[in-house]
Structure 1
């Protein structure tokens, strides 16, 4: 199956570089491009896209606003048919990338990402995994959390009321950046069982993917920057 990718960045040189790397892959095609978030929304009205590489800082409409409109319904619930969004960040400067995760992005990519990691990230997200390396996303969230205040009062354990005791246990491990394999080993479960638990957790909490689980856990006061 061909993965249709959209490049959204105001720097044409960067789009050209990404395009050259991705077009060399037999299972990836560049189906659309845009120079900012507003143009991306216009293009998406007619273009068929599976995965979007989205810059954060752009003129007219930034990547956070665009991601929110692409991934979320007006009431804040996830759009089930929305393309997956991978945020392009410089890591040290783009504090707003954390807000993009809240807006529905599936993870981060550094702008200087090696070609092999870029391709692997796109394939992984397209296949249903929110992040290529869960610990990487958690580490980046920790970094951004140091400079971003909580947007609401921590809700604590009540945020997990829909979950069973086992699901809560799995949820907290997902929020700490553990992979399904690591969770399975720690809880002495099969990876298939963990995958089933994760699917049920996301459905019960109305979350799009594992990244959103990390965001919820942080905002609920269940995890903190630099620790669990």
Structure 2
């Protein structure tokens, strides 16, 4: 039976089997070069540009380096449980520095976050840590983005949907009707009031609805 597979990580004395998923060939080449130069205890067993390609391979993988945004432009975080089901650990390897997408990736099961701006030594060390079952962040910034509750408003899925719809130009009544609540705009205004309070709790002062949506965009809620 084909497909990615791994059993409890590398065995004693064996090299760590690494796969990279990134739609930028130059990034994949850089990963390969870094491992060749700095990690004799590692083997790059797959280098592909999407999750499906990796899953189709008959190869054992201990650690997957996963770019958070591939060619589709949507987050690859929902694919993390599928990759984990093969027995591999998943490290997010990204340029993304907004807290919400990174926290979502960790919530889906990622064992850490690496920023592509980090030095190769950090990458190699994080892969070793992931293979040993550690949670790895590339530095104080990435760790704060994942763990600090004061960096992003905690919006519910419904609140995010409402902000996205209003930002796309729908009226309050249209948004209310879309959610099957009522044609009365009061329910939408109530949601917006609660969203504003969440941003104010972070020391931010949201203005009109478009400014509110912009704040949510900056934190990664509307990506």
Q: What TM-score does the superposition give when structure 1 sets the normalisation length?
A: 0.55
TM-aligned CA deviation for residue 36 of structure 1: 1.6
Tell whether 2:80 aligns with 1:67.
yes
The answer to whether the aligner puts 1:149 opposite 2:155 as a matched pair is yes
Who is 2:56 aligned against? Answer: 42
**For the residues of structure 2 that align with 1:94 and 1:8, how far apart are their CA atoms?**
21
Bigger CA radius of gyration: 2
Superposed, 1:67-146 pairs within 5 Å as 67-71=80-84, 79=85, 82-93=87-98, 95-131=100-136, 137-141=142-146, 142=148, 146=152
Are the counterparts in 2 of residues 143 and 225 from structure 1 also a CA contact under 8 Å? Answer: no
Unaligned runs of 5+ in 2: 1-13, 159-200, 204-223
Instruction: Select which of 7, 10, 17 maps to 2:30.
Output: 17
Q: In the aligned structure 1, how far is the partner of 2:45 from the partner of 2:20?
A: 9
Question: 1:88 & 1:225 partners in 2: Cα distance?
Answer: 28
Q: Give TM-score scaled by structure 2 length.
A: 0.56
C-alpha separation between the residues in 2 aligned to 1:128 and 1:143? Answer: 24
Q: Any idea what SS the aligned residue of 1:96 has?
A: helix
Distance 1:116 1:134 in 2: 12
1:55 aligns with 2:49: no
Q: Distance in 2 between matches of 1:69 and 1:28?
A: 23
C-alpha deviation, 1:123, in angstroms? 0.5
RMSD: 3.0
Distance 2:106 2:150 in 1: 11
Structure 1: gaps spanning 5 or more residues = 72-78, 153-223
- Could you tell me whether the CA contact under 8 Å between 1:11 and 1:35 is conserved in 2? yes
The answer on whether the counterparts of 1:8 and 1:52 sit within 8 Å (CA) in structure 2 is yes
**Partner SS state of residue 83, structure 2:** helix
Quickly say closer, same or farther: Cα 1:103–1:27, change in 2 above 3 A.
same
Change (3 A) 1:135 1:93: closer
Single out whichever of 81-90 and 12-21 deviates more from structure 2.
81-90
Q: Residues 23, 143 of structure 1: CA spacing in aligned structure 2 closer, same or farther, 3 A cutoff?
A: farther
